[in-house]
Amino acid sequence: MAAGTELTPTSYINHHLTHLPATIGDGGFMTLHVDTVVTSLLLGIIGFGLLRWIVAGATSGVPNKRQAFVEMMFDFIDEQVKGVFHGDRHKFVAPLALCVFVWVFLMNSMDFLPVDIMAKLYELMGLHNWRSVPTADVNTTFALALSVWGLMIYFNFAVKGFGGFMHEIFCTPFGSNPLLWIFNLLFNLVELISKPLSHALRLYGNIYAGEIIFLLLGMWAATGLAGTVFGAILGAGWAIFHILIVALQAFIFMMLTAVYMAMAHEGH
Amino acid sequence: MNINLTLLSQAVAFGIFIWFTKAFVWPPLLKAIEDRQKTIADGLAAAEKGKAAEADAKQRIEAELAASRTQNQGRLADAEKQAHALIEQAKKDAETEKARIVAQARAEAAQEVQRAKEQLRNAVADLAVKGAEQILKREVNAGAHADLLTQLKAQL
C-alpha cells in the first residue's frame, strides 16, 4: 500500500499482485522478480539446511523425534516413488521427488501467512510490492516443470538411446506402419508439450486462485461490520481448506514428477 | 503472467537444490534406515536362533533327566541288593559268633565245674582226714598216710 494513493478495490488487488521487479537488461524478459527469488531461495536454504542438519545427526539406532519426522516423510515419498518407478530409485528419482515435495510444500505454505499483515510488515521493511508465495508466480512453476521436462527428455535419450526414443515417438501409440508415423509424431508432440504446461499451470492456478480468494475476502472485510464478520469466518474456512490444497498440490507436483521420470525410463 | 529471467534463476536454484538433496540428504538417511532395518532383521533372526537353541537345550535336559532317573533307579536297586547282602552276611557272622561264644562259655563253664569239683574233692578229703583225726584223737601222719589220702581223693 503505497502511501498517498487512494485505496480502491482495483489498486488493492493490483498492489497485492505486483512483484518487486529488478531490471537486469533491456526488454521485458530481462527482469527478475526479487520477491519470488529471495523467498524461494530463503525457503530452500532453510528447508534443505534443516534437512541436512537432521540427517547429518541421523542414527541407525533409536531415532529422536526430529529424525523420526524426517524418516516418516522419507518413507512416504519413497513408497510413492516405489509405486510408479521400477528402477534404482535411490540413485536419482527418489531424491528428486523429495526435493520437489519439500521445496514446493514450503513455497505453497507461504500462502498461510495473512496477506495484509504480511504486506504491512514488508512495508515496514521498505518493500512496497512484495508477494510472499513463490508458487503463485508462474515463473517458479514453469521453472520447476520445465526442469523436470528437461530431465525427462534427458532420461528418454539416456535410457532408450536416440533410436529407441525416436522409435517411441514415431511408432507409438498407433503402430509402426510408415503411414501412421505422422500421426504418432503429432500425438507425441501434443503429449510432450502438454506435460510441462499442465504440470506448471496446475500448481500455479491452484495457488494463485487461493491467493485471489484471500484477497477478495479481504476486500469484503473492508466493506463494513457484516463484511468483516463474514469475511473473517469465510477467510478462516478458506485458510483451513487451504491446508489441504497446499499439501495436496505439493504432493501432486511430486507425483507427476515421479511419473514423468518413470515414463522416461520405461517404454510404452 | 509475464515470463522473465525469474524462470531461469528459479531453474538454477532448483537444480542446486536437487543436487544438494541427492548428494547430502537422501543417502545418509537411506543408510541410517537401511542399517536399522538390517539391525532389526538380525535381531529377529538371533531371537529365532535363540528360541531354537532353547528348545534344543530343553530336549537335551529332558533326555539327561530321563537317563539320570533310570540310572538312579538302577543304583537304588543295587544299593538295596547290597544292603540285603550285607544284612545277610552280618546275620550269618552274628550266628557263627554266637555259636563260638556259646561254645567258649560252655567250655569255660565245664572247666569251672571241673575246678570246683577238684576243690570240693580236696575239701572233702581234708574234712575226712580231720574227721578221722577227731575220731582217733590223734594226729594222722599226713606223710605216712599220703597214699591212703590220694586213694581216697581218687574215689571221691
DSSP codes, chain B:
----HHHHHHHHHHHHHHHHIIIIIHHHHHHHHHHHHHHHHHHHHHHHHHHHHHHHHHHHHHHHHHHHHHHHHHHHHHHHHHHHHHHHHHHHHHHHHHHHHHHHHHHHHHHHHHHHHHHHHHHHHHHHHHHHHHHHTS---TTTTHHHHHHHHHH-
> What mean pLDDT do residues B106-125 have?
92
A84 or A2, higher pLDDT: A84
Per the DSSP assignment, residues forming a β-bridge with A31 are A23
Query: How far is Cα of residue A228 from the mean position of the Cα atoms in its chain?
Result: 32
Q: Do B6 and A33 touch (CB under 8 A)?
A: yes
Q: Give the C-alpha separation, B57 to B64, whole Å.
A: 10
pLDDT at A27: 75
Q: Which of B7, B9, B16, B20 to mutate to test the interface with A (most CBs of A within 10 A)?
A: B7
The residue assigned the cell 537335551 is B60
Using an 8 Å Cβ cutoff, are A141 and A197 in contact? no
pLDDT band at B139 (very low <50, low <70, confident <90, very high): low
- Contact state of B5 with A146 under an 8 Å Cβ cutoff: no
Q: What is the pLDDT of residues A195-229, one digit of tens each?
A: 999 999 999 999 999 999 998 888 888 888 988 99
Q: Which residue has the higher pLDDT, B154 or A123?
A: A123
Write the residue in B15, B26, B35 that is nearest to A98 by C-beta: B26
Which residue, A207, A95, A30, is CA-closest to B15?
A: A95
Residue to substitute from A103, A139, A199, interface B, most B β-carbons within 10 A: A139
Least confident piece of the model among A1-5, B120-124, B148-152: A1-5
What is the structure's pLDDT at A5?
54
Residue A144 pLDDT greater than 80, yes or no: yes
Contact A115, A215 (CB under 8 A): yes
Cell of A165: 526414443
Closest alpha carbon to A151 in A25, A13, A242, A264:
A264
Residues A23 and A20: their CA atoms lie apart, in Å, by 10
| Chain B residues with CB-CB distance to A200 below 8 A | none
Place of cell 572233702: B124
Least confident of A62-66, A246-250, B99-103, B149-153: B149-153
Q: Cβ distance A115 to A239 under 8 Å?
A: no
Q: Does B42 touch chain A (CB under 8 A)?
A: no
How many other C-beta atoms are found inside a 10 Å radius of the C-beta of residue A241?
12
Residue of B1, B5, B19, B38 to mutate when probing chain A, most A C-beta within 10 A? B5
pLDDT value at residue A46: 96
Type of residue numbered A193: I
pLDDT at A238: 92
pLDDT at position A119: 85
| Residue in A with minimal Cα distance to B26 | A95
- Show residues of chain B in contact with A95, CB under 8 Å: 18, 21-22, 25-26
User: Which three-class secondary structure state does DSSP give residue A32?
Assistant: strand
Q: Is the pLDDT of residue A240 over 80?
A: yes
Q: Answer yes or no: do A36 and B3 touch at CB < 8 A.
A: no
pLDDT over 90 (residue A141): yes
Please say if the pLDDT value at position A26 is more than 80: no
For chain A, give the mean pLDDT: 90
Q: How far is B22 from chain A (nearest CA, A)?
A: 5
Please report how the helices B5-20 and A93-109 are oriented relative to each other, as an axis angle in degrees rounded to 10: 130
Question: What is the structure's pLDDT at B66?
Answer: 96
Distances from the Cα of A149 to the Cα of A107, A185, A191, A200, angstroms: 20, 18, 12, 10
Question: Whole-angstrom Cα distance, residue B151 to residue A77?
Answer: 146
- How far apart CA A176 and CA A170 sit, in angstroms, is 7
What pLDDT score does A12 carry? 82
**CB burial readout B116-154, b (16+ within 10 A) else e:** eeeeeeeeebeeebeeeeeeeeeeeeeeeeeeebeebee
B43: distance to nearest CA of chain A, Å? 13
* A40 closest CB neighbour out of B5, B8, B13: B13
The proportion of chain A whose per-residue pLDDT surpasses 90, expressed as a percent, equals: 60
Whether the predicted pLDDT of B153 surpasses 70: yes
Domain boundaries, chain B: 24-155
User: In the prediction, which pLDDT does A1 show?
Assistant: 37
A-B CB pairs within 8 A amount to: 123
Distances (CA, A) of B123 to A34, B84, B119, B141, B156: 163, 57, 6, 18, 11
The rounded distance, in Å, linking the Cα atoms of B70 and B83 is 20
Mean pLDDT of B81-94: 96
Q: What cell was used for A227? A: 463484511
Residues of A in contact with B32 (CB under 8 A): 55, 58-60, 63, 67, 71
